[in-house]
Each structure stands twice: as structure tokens, then as C-alpha cells.
Amino acid sequence: MKIVEVRPLAVEGISVVRFARFRDQRGYFAEPFRRSDVGAHPQLAALGRAEFVQLNESYSRAATIRGLHFQWNPYMGKLVRTLHGHMVDLVLDLRKGSGTYGKGLLYDMPDREDADHSEWIWVPPGFAHGNFFLTTSRIEYFCTGEYSPGCEAGISPLAADIDWSLAEPALLTRFRELVASGPVISDKDRSGLTVAAWTADARSDVFGIDRLGPR
């Protein structure tokens, strides 16, 4: 795995990992993940410690919004990439005690077949995760915990009390335009919790920043 760039985003703990594609007249070859390379990188300590136990694939039609999902017991970190199409990733900080608690990020992740690199976004435990799609898209994500239906919840991506002040303005505009136009979204996601409702829920203490371990 040739890591060409690791870029921390505006919320501590969220990183983009860019890796090389090796191109020739046939197309390209890439090694998207190698544990030893990740573990040796000085900016990827948390990811290097991660043990992936589940791989998910998701197909979404254009104008779909998914999320914002999270679980505990076991905690689930996610390493996410776009296989085909155009995804914008959504991340919301739910770590109690964090200086960015309740703040959300948007990160643009289109698949560009002619690019000389591709990338992952690393979303560790303590964050709610989702995405929206500007074209028909397929994504995959490795998870550090197996799905636990009794220990999951979600913040509605439409919740009015999400603080998007750290989001890139152009992406936030696209997101709000999609919301206004009537997105494809499940009833479960649409009716998810607000940040305030989750904060008041006793279960939210499972994401206390002192309980999540080193970053």
C-alpha cells in the first residue's frame, strides 16, 4: 500500500488516507490496504491498532441520504471508500467531552477512474456516520465491530440542531439543496434522534471521551 497523503480533517480523529494507483495502458492497479504500512505511518496510530471484523457494501441511487448511524457494545469504527459514483461522507462528533461535540463534517469522495490515487475516510468509534449521493453509487466500508442491533441508534441527518459550522460551505449548500428537493431517505433515518435528544439519553455516556481510549 503506497500511502501518498494522510489528511486530518477539522474534527480531531477523522482522517483521509490517500493511496496510490499504478497506471498503465491497461488501466490501473492499487493496493487499498496493508496493515503493516498503516501501522508504520506516524499519523495513523489509531487506524493501525484497529482490527476489522466486518465488511459492508452499499449501493445507493442518486439523491439518497443515509445515516447518521452509530453503535456501541461493541464500538464500531469505519474505514470507508467510494467504489463507483459520487458520495459525500457525513460525520458527526458524539464524543462527550470533546470540544467539537455535536459538530458535523462533510467530505467529498467522488470516484475518479482517471486519477492517480484513491482514498479512504477513517471514522473511529464515537462518531455518527452517514452519506449522501450525487449519482448512483457503490461504496464499501470495513468495520471494527460486528453489527449489534440491540446497541445502535441514529441521529437524523435532517436534525435542525446539528452544528455544520465546520463543513465546507459548497458541500453544505449541496446537502441543503438535496434536503429541500426531497431526498430518498428511509423512514428510520428521517425520524432519527436530534443531537439534544441523544445528549439527554443516558446511553450517550457510552461515548464519553475518557471511555473511548487513545486516538
**Residue pLDDT tens, the chain, 215 long:** 999 999 999 999 999 999 999 999 999 999 999 998 998 899 998 898 899 999 999 999 999 999 999 999 999 999 999 999 999 999 999 999 999 999 999 999 999 988 999 999 999 999 999 999 999 999 999 999 999 989 999 999 999 999 999 999 999 999 999 999 999 999 999 999 999 999 999 999 999 988 886 55
Tell me if residue 117 is catalytic.
no
In tens, the pLDDT along 82-112 reads 999 999 999 999 999 999 999 999 999 999 9
Residue 68 has a pLDDT of 97
Domains along the chain? 3-204 (2.60.120.10)
Rounded Cα gap, residues 208 and 170, in angstroms: 32
Residue 45 has a pLDDT of 87
Using left for φ > 0, alpha for ψ between -120 and 50, and beta otherwise, residue 38 falls in alpha
Comparing CA positions, the residue from 114, 108, 117 lying closest to residue 90 is: 108
Of 59, 107, 141, 147, catalytic: 141
Of 41, 59, 69, 129, catalytic: 69
> Which three three-digit cell numbers place residue 116?
492517480
Pairing mode, strands 104-110 and 117-123: unpaired
Tell me if residue 69 is catalytic.
yes
On the CB side of 203, how many CA atoms lie within 13 Å of its CA? 14
Rounded Cα gap, residues 49 and 159, in angstroms: 33
Rounded Cα gap, residues 150 and 23, in angstroms: 45
**pTM > 0.75: yes or no:** yes
